[in-house]
Amino acid sequence: MQVRLFVYGSLRPGQCNYDQLSDSVLASQAASVGGWLRLRPEGYPALSLAPDWPRRGGQPGHWPELPGGVELELASGEVGGDLLDLNWTPELGQKLDDFEGFTEHAPDYLRVACWTSCGWAWTYVAPEDRADWERIAGWPPQGHLSPRVPHQRR
């Protein structure tokens, strides 16, 4: 089974945490979504989707089929990233949810299905838009040092 995942930060090809999923990547293409990025205090990006951007919520450890349908009026967005086609296994799904801190209690990120410029995909977003976190144009952020070591969850 294949799963599509939109990545916009350290999981992108060539970035410090790509090795978390690189063995499962079948294909990659540029894509975008509507929203903005903020820089978390740990130095990693957090995506906030635009309020009207199509999305469906997910549950930790549960990766249902992506929604169908086409959102033609939302063909592209402001946040660039990569759409990865992954050779999905339950172990990979759990690894990604754990890596992103997608838990039922106090999650670091939420996993949602959202529309991208290339169709529906899963992605991880900020649980809430934090205005106290600096807004950044992309990853890695200009004028900031990006993390040099792989991300480690508690």
Res 67: pLDDT: 85
Res 149: pLDDT: 46
Res 153: pLDDT: 43
pLDDT at 11 over 50: yes
Grade residue 113 by pLDDT with cuts at 50, 70 and 90: very high
Determine the Cα–Cα distance for residues 99 and 154; give it in Å rounded to an integer: 9
What is the pTM for the complete model shown? 0.89
Beta-bridge mates of residue 56:
113
Res 29: pLDDT: 97
pLDDT at 23 over 70: yes
